[in-house]
Amino acid sequence: MCRMTGNRAWRLDAHPRGEDFASALTLIDLPEPVPAPGQVTITADYLSLDAGTRMWMTPRTDSYQPPIPLGSIVPGQVLGRVIASQADGFAPGDLVRAFGQWADISCVDAATSGLVKLDESVADPLLHLGPLGMNGWTALVGIEEVGRTQPGDTVLVSAAAGATGMLAAQIARILGARAIGIAGGARKCVFLTEDLGLDAAIDHRTPDVAAAVAAAAPGGVNVYFENVGGALLDAVLPNMAHYGRIALCGLVANYAEVQPGPARFDQVLARRLQITGFFSPDFAHRGPELTARLRTWVDKGQLTMPFAVTDGLDNLLTAYAGLFEGTNIGKTVVRVR
């Protein structure tokens, strides 16, 4: 256990209703933590805000992570500098990334928090929370290994203007596929085709999304990188090509409740589809190898991502709600200092 000595942190006091995070979380003052043996303290430059954390804020115990206990600090990825270390290989001042807390200062176990010292030659340290971190790994593994994307495939990506989806769609193109992105609103769709160079974009607010997918992918979708679920998955299933693969990355349409199966499940049989869920902690140990490959594309300018930066730990909840309201383009982060 860390001994505490000034720090602010977001505590989960109740299970949020919808996107009303302000009624469920409180920014509290804590003493500054002091690391115990095997631990380091990190002063956060940036916090990564991730849609999946919403599910851990519910009481459900059937998720891929146990629920966050009420009364505890919300966990999350932190990018910052080591303040004090009682762990081998880490010293004050090191630039690190770890699974810490929504706080000014995180205290983490070196062995279990994914703590890594980061390459300071990377031009923008924020890249370590985007293409060169968990979102990049998830996109690469999902497109290449789970989706088994081949050159010439038609790849469809939902939440394609968000962090994980944007990287997945660009990687599909790098691997020689035709990439179509789904996003909410004209501004995001223009971004996908004009700025990212995707082959087509579909606005999920359009009245007949299934018809829009059929028009954009007349030969069917070979790989669907799914981030959303719900009605969107039902619109895509009848538009899958035979022997298509669905890389099930996320179900952001509704993380607060149990999601029923898709209404068009019959298409899995009719089109001989494979649906495979995957989760980044399962391949986090491959981080160095995956990061090295992603970096070659980042350095060549083939893999890009804007950051939706909110200033101040006290403004975190507004930024977090934006992930579900769709206000962000690219990776959502909070600049803490």
Question: Which run of H or E residues covers position 166?
Answer: helix 163-174
Token pair of 139 as six digits: 């996109």
Min CB(7)–ligand NAP separation in Å = 25
Task: Single out the residue of 27, 175, 214, 253 in contact with ligand NAP (rule: CB under 6 A).
Answer: 253
Confirm or reject binding of residue 324 to ligand NAP (CB under 6 A). yes
Q: Ramachandran region of residue 148, left (φ > 0), alpha (ψ -120 to 50) or beta?
A: left
> Residues 103 to 122: which contact ligand NAP by CB under 6 A?
none
- The stretch among 24-32, 93-101, 235-243, 325-333 that binds ligand NAP (CB under 6 A) is 325-333
Token pair of 298 as six digits: 């980042």
* Pattern 190-229, ligand NAP, x by CB under 6 A: --------------x----------------------xx-
Min CB(44)–ligand NAP separation in Å = 18
Task: Single out the residue of 45, 50, 94, 153 in contact with ligand NAP (rule: CB under 6 A).
Answer: 50
Min CB(66)–ligand NAP separation in Å = 16
- Residues whose CB falls within 8 Å of the CB of residue 105, separated by 6 or more in sequence, listed in order: 7, 32, 33, 41, 42, 43, 44, 83
Task: Single out the residue of 279, 304, 306, 309 in contact with ligand NAP (rule: CB under 6 A).
Answer: 279
> Residues 61 to 80: which contact ligand NAP by CB under 6 A?
none
187 three-state secondary structure: helix
Cβ(207)–Cβ(231) below 8 Å:
no
Q: How many CA atoms lie within 13 A of 331 on its CB side?
A: 25
Nearest to 157 by CA among 215, 259, 228, 101: 228
User: Judging by DSSP bridges, how do beta strands 274-277 and 240-248 pair with one another?
Assistant: parallel
Which residues of the shown chain bind ligand NAP in the complex (CB under 6 A)? 50-52, 135, 138, 159, 161-165, 183-184, 188, 204, 227-228, 232, 249-253, 278-280, 323-324, 326, 328, 332
